[in-house]
Amino acid sequence: MDSNEMDLEALQKENLELREKVAGSKQTIKTLRRNFQGMVQLLTEAISLGNMFLGSHMKRSAEMTKAFCEYLKLPKDIVYLNYYVALLHDIGLVGSKSELIEKTVDDLNDADKKMFFEHPVLGFEIINSIYSLKKTALIIRSHHENYDGTGFPDKLASGEIPIESRVIHIINDYDMNRFKFSLNPEEIQIKMDPLGGSIYDPDLLNKFQGFISHFEKNNNGSAHFIEAESLKPGMYLDQDIILSNGLLLIPGGVLLDGVMLGKIQSFSTNLFHKNKIRVIY
Ligand SMILES: [Fe+2]
């Protein structure tokens, strides 16, 4: 074997070792990513157990964010980042009283209002403590900043607000209008459209309006069919509850609370629904 052949053999060996190392690193990244996904999913399930509405809001926001990013044809890693940021965006509200999540800000007392306005910073602090999630923490911090600089907590404006936060702001408000205030897609569009340029990034809002009609038509991802006795507070009623004599007991499009559940239980033998009831959570 001459020296050229020996060099070639050494080079091939080195190349093979390098490929093995890259394959090993890719596997490690995959495993870390899978662990992270599992951890965040587990956390969201735990949040749902404490407050079903909050957990469902975070899950729905994540699904809608993913679909919106795919609609915008963003690269896969950006879709992935935005999905998990949306899944965590209200983590600063975990452990808060349910009134804080279920009432409008204007209806909260001063102490609760203060807590609500602090939740993006609290969320930032929780996530920022994890070294690899510093960018995620900053996005969470800014998800209530307004495009014109009137939002909170830092009064950032337009390009100062991370684009991911601008996306989540739109999706957060759409979901709250849909499930907290029980507005239909047309009513939400009328409410949100004039806010492009003041509250929301006008360009993103424009793209979102194009996306949402398509999403609403095709999305059944969060709908479930549940027996009447298994309904829980915080579930969104996606159909009317009708009595066997045809009278309407509870209209669809409302968020179930204890009073409504009591009503359903007391009429349980007289419900029209022999099958399961369609809810979203
Ligand atoms: Fe929030």
Backbone angles phi, psi at 276, to 5 degrees: -80, 165
pLDDT tens for residues 151-187?
999 999 999 999 999 999 999 999 999 888 888 889 9
Chain-centroid distance, C-alpha 280:
14
Q: State yes or no: pLDDT of 137 exceeds 90.
A: yes
pLDDT tens for residues 33-89?
777 777 777 787 778 777 888 888 998 899 999 999 999 999 988 998 899 999 999
What is the residue type of 108? L
Q: State yes or no: pLDDT of 200 exceeds 70.
A: yes
CA 148 – ligand 1 centroid, Å: 18
Q: What are the residue ranges of helices labelled H in the chain?
A: 3-50, 52-71, 76-88, 98-102, 110-128, 134-141, 163-179, 185-192, 202-218, 258-266
| Pair (259, 122) in one structural domain | no
**DSSP label at residue 276:** P
pLDDT tens for residues 90-126?
999 988 887 788 788 888 999 999 999 999 999 999 9
CA 186 – ligand 1 centroid, Å: 23
Comparison of pLDDT for 135 and 247, the residue scoring more: 135
Q: What is the residue-averaged pLDDT of the chain? A: 86
* pLDDT at 77 (0 to 100): 87
Domain span at residue 28 reads 1-50
Record the pTM. 0.73
| Pair (94, 215) in one structural domain | yes
Last residue of a domain, one of 219, 235, 269: 219
Last residue of a domain, one of 174, 196, 219: 219
CA 82 – ligand 1 centroid, Å: 15
Comparison of pLDDT for 207 and 243, the residue scoring more: 207
* Exposed / middle / buried, residue 209 (Cβ in 10 Å: 0-12, 13-18, 19+): middle
| Pair (60, 195) in one structural domain | yes
* pLDDT at 131 (0 to 100): 81
* pLDDT at 133 (0 to 100): 87
| Pair (79, 139) in one structural domain | yes
Report how far residue 114's alpha carbon sits from residue 82's, in angstroms, rounded to the nearest whole number.
Answer: 27
| Pair (93, 194) in one structural domain | yes
| Pair (171, 238) in one structural domain | no
CA 144 – ligand 1 centroid, Å: 6
| Pair (192, 56) in one structural domain | yes
Report how far residue 187's alpha carbon sits from residue 177's, in angstroms, rounded to the nearest whole number.
Answer: 9
CA 134 – ligand 1 centroid, Å: 18
Total domain count for the chain? 3
Last residue of a domain, one of 11, 32, 50: 50
What is the residue type of 225? F
| Pair (111, 157) in one structural domain | yes
CA 260 – ligand 1 centroid, Å: 27
CA 49 – ligand 1 centroid, Å: 19
| Pair (104, 203) in one structural domain | yes
Comparison of pLDDT for 141 and 44, the residue scoring more: 141
3-state SS assignment for residue 278? strand
| Pair (143, 252) in one structural domain | no
Two tokens at 30? 């995959």
| Pair (15, 146) in one structural domain | no
| Pair (96, 211) in one structural domain | yes
CA 54 – ligand 1 centroid, Å: 10
What pLDDT band is residue 234 in, cutting at 50, 70 and 90? confident
Lowest mean pLDDT of 88-92, 108-112, 207-211, 220-224, name the range.
Answer: 220-224
